[in-house]
């Protein structure tokens, strides 16, 4: 398992309602918010607040307080239905109206879109180029720009021309495509944070989702990063301290000695703890709750022999029965699919595939025995197939995400977690506790890392309500928030 979870999925965060356009819009907004949050890490901003409450926050997704104390409000629109934003459409859709109290009092407003806002951008550029209201009025407001300026001024309550001109100079228009935004994020994350940029992106995007109304400072952001073993990048002129953490002077330039000391303390405390690097798991709210299915399985001589090879069991290694569990995937609310070994007969061997198969009356090839959990309540355990009891659920962890789940000989190893192979040590204890306590369903994680079992939703059948079909491939994948095909009950 690599030291960092390798999150690469582009759709991230809390469950998104609506169609594909809504999801893309939320993703675009979240990524722009993250780009602004990186200004906090870089010392260019003091704080960032998402969804400022009350009238003050109307018309803006978030507020940055820059290092010099200037308030910068950001409004983010992925695109306009008619391909570009005009002054008329900005007024009609009440985008521009809430800006006035922000920019007329000396704050700044950044309008971000993946599509053009050329008319507004031209007015902003002309106001910036004119050295005074008189010059702007006489030389830069020719038709059609004067008509657009007057429409804008009317939307703001008809302030005097010089005041509207001054406010216009406090607006910035940014157009950026989604692919360019992602590339920019990855470049900035690479420069600021040690570890895979996709992991840092995922961790911080979720942090944004969880932090509505809260003012986030550099200490808050690095504390969250450190919980996932993400540390500041070592810069030229900095050095690592004796505890192995990089000096943060250049990264936190202007943040102050007290903040610097607090950040170092927070990183030391969190990265020095025994907490694993798994991303926090969000509950799959509002989904079908399958009945928790268990069955007593008669233990075969093959499983007794395997248990005899393992030295950690707390009770006798030759039980006559053990408890098996059915794992139903959360994607299909009707026609449910269960984690199952292909029923190839009594001679199942290495690498026989494990798939998401139609659930049917607790058949043994779809029942899994958590051997070490059943023996001594060990969190990490084999998941032994109840039909082929010398075979365990296995993935090739060092091959990375996308590895197919398959059967393989259950085997202990002195170098693995709890004496088990890292390819076969499943975190059944966490799954069991979460499902039984009401968080139903929950991912099935490999060991203590971020890899979990994923039913491939590329196989959904549009002709059958986008259900996963029988025989859906099951792979090892990075956990990402929140995907029903990664939850099992």
| DSSP assignments along 201-265, one per residue | HHHHHHHHHH-BT-EE-HHHHHHHHHHTT--BPP-TT--B-TTSPBP-TTTTTTS-HHHHHHHHH
350, two tokens: 């290495």
- Residue 450's closest CA among 210, 228, 186, 201? 228
Place 458 in a pLDDT band, splitting at 50, 70 and 90: confident
**How high is the pLDDT of residue 247?**
36
Highest mean pLDDT among 130-139, 253-262, 400-409: 130-139
**How high is the pLDDT of residue 400?**
74
Indicate the burial class of 18 (C-beta count within 10 angstroms; 0-12, 13-18, 19 or more): exposed
- Residue 110's closest CA among 82, 145, 71? 71
336, two tokens: 């449910």
**Are 380 and 366 within 8 A, CB to CB?**
no
Please provide the average confidence, as pLDDT, over all residues in the chain: 81
* Cα distance between residue 413 and residue 418, in whole Å: 9
Other Cβ atoms within 10 Å of 17 Cβ, number: 8
**How high is the pLDDT of residue 245?**
35
Asked whether the predicted pLDDT for residue 230 surpasses 80, the reply is: yes
* Cα distance between residue 222 and residue 267, in whole Å: 7
**Are 182 and 202 within 8 A, CB to CB?**
no
| Dihedral Cα 189, 191, 195, 199, nearest 10 deg | 10
308-345 burial by CB neighbour count: b if 16+ within 10 A, else e? eebeebeeebebeebebbbbbbbbbeeebbbbbbeeee
* Cα distance between residue 160 and residue 158, in whole Å: 6
* Cα distance between residue 243 and residue 54, in whole Å: 44
Distance (Å) of CA 350 to CA 372, 390, 400, 435: 21, 10, 19, 30
- Which residue carries 């999801």 as its tokens? 23
Other Cβ atoms within 10 Å of 88 Cβ, number: 14
* Cα distance between residue 222 and residue 193, in whole Å: 10
**How high is the pLDDT of residue 234?**
59
**Are 393 and 385 within 8 A, CB to CB?**
yes
Q: Which of 124-133, 289-298, 374-383, 438-447 has the lowest mean pLDDT?
A: 289-298
Length of the chain: 489
Q: Which of 104-108, 113-117, 242-246 has the lowest mean pLDDT?
A: 242-246
**How high is the pLDDT of residue 252?**
42
Q: What is the rounded average pLDDT of the residues 238-260? A: 39
374 vs 274 pLDDT, higher one:
374
364 vs 277 pLDDT, higher one:
364
* Cα distance between residue 422 and residue 446, in whole Å: 8
Asked whether the predicted pLDDT for residue 166 surpasses 60, the reply is: yes
| Pairing outcome for strands 108-113 and 171-175 | parallel
Q: Is 184 helix (H, G, I), strand (E, B) or coil?
A: helix
Asked whether the predicted pLDDT for residue 463 surpasses 80, the reply is: no
Q: Which of 140-144, 269-273, 365-369 has the lowest mean pLDDT?
A: 269-273
* Cα distance between residue 469 and residue 467, in whole Å: 6
Q: Is 15 helix (H, G, I), strand (E, B) or coil?
A: coil
Distance (Å) of CA 204 to CA 181, 199, 305: 15, 9, 47
**Are 354 and 329 within 8 A, CB to CB?**
no
Q: What is the rounded average pLDDT of the residues 327-337? A: 88
**Are 195 and 229 within 8 A, CB to CB?**
yes
Q: Which of 123-132, 254-263, 265-274, 371-380 has the lowest mean pLDDT?
A: 265-274
Can you list the domains of the chain with their CATH numbers?
A: 20-178 (3.40.1350), 294-486 (2.80.10.50)
- Residue 329's closest CA among 468, 137, 180? 468
Q: What angle do CA 121, 20, 452 make, to 5 degrees?
A: 120
25 vs 353 pLDDT, higher one:
353
């Amino acid at each position: 398992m690599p030291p960092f979870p390798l999150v690469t999925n582009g759709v991230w965060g809390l469950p998104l309602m609506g169609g594909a356009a809504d999801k893309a819009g939320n993703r675009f907004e979240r990524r722009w918010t993250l780009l602004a949050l990186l200004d906090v890490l870089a010392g260019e901003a003091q704080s960032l607040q998402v969804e400022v409450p009350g009238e003050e926050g109307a018309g803006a997704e978030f507020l940055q307080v820059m290092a010099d104390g200037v308030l910068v409000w950001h409004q983010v629109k992925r695109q306009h239905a008619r391909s570009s934003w005009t002054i008329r459409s900005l007024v009609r859709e009440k985008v521009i109206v809430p800006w006035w109290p922000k920019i007329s009092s000396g704050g700044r407003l950044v309008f971000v879109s993946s599509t053009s806002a050329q008319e507004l951008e031209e007015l902003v550029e002309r106001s910036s180029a004119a050295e005074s209201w008189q010059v702007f009025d006489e030389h830069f407001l020719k038709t059609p720009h004067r008509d657009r300026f007057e429409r804008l001024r009317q939307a703001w309550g008809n302030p005097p021309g010089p005041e509207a001109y001054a406010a216009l100079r406090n607006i910035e228009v940014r157009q950026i495509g989604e692919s360019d935004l992602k590339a920019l994020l990855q470049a900035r994350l690479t420069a600021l944070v040690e570890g895979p940029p996709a992991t840092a992106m995922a961790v911080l995007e979720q942090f944004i989702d969880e932090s509505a109304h809260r003012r986030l400072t550099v200490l808050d952001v690095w504390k969250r990063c450190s919980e996932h073993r993400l540390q500041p990048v070592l810069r030229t002129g900095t050095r690592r301290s004796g505890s192995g953490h990089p000096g943060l002077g250049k990264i936190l330039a202007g943040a102050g000695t007290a903040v610097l000391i607090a950040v170092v303390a927070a990183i030391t405390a969190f990265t020095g703890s025994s907490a694993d690097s798994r991303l926090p798991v969000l509950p799959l709210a509002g989904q079908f709750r399958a009945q928790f299915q268990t069955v007593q399985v008669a233990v075969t001589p093959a499983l007794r022999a395997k248990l005899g090879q393992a030295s950690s069991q707390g009770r006798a290694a030759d039980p006559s029965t053990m408890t098996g569990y059915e794992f139903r995937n959360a994607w299909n609310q009707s026609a449910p699919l269960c984690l199952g070994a292909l029923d190839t007969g009594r001679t199942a061997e290495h690498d026989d595939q494990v798939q998401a198969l139609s659930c049917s009356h607790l058949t043994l090839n779809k029942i899994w025995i958590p051997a070490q959990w059943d023996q001594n309540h060990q969190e990490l355990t084999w998941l032994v197939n109840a039909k082929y009891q010398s075979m365990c659920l296995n993935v090739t962890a060092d091959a990375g995400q996308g590895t197919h789940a398959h059967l393989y000989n259950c085997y202990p190893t002195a170098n693995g977690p709890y004496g088990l192979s890292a390819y076969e040590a499943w975190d059944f204890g966490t799954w069991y506790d979460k499902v039984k306590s009401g968080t139903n369903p929950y991912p099935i994680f490999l060991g203590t890392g971020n890899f979990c079992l994923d039913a491939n939703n590329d196989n959904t059948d549009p002709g059958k309500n986008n259900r996963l079909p029988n025989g859906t491939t099951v792979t090892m994948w990075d956990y990402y928030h929140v995907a029903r095909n990664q939850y099992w009950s």
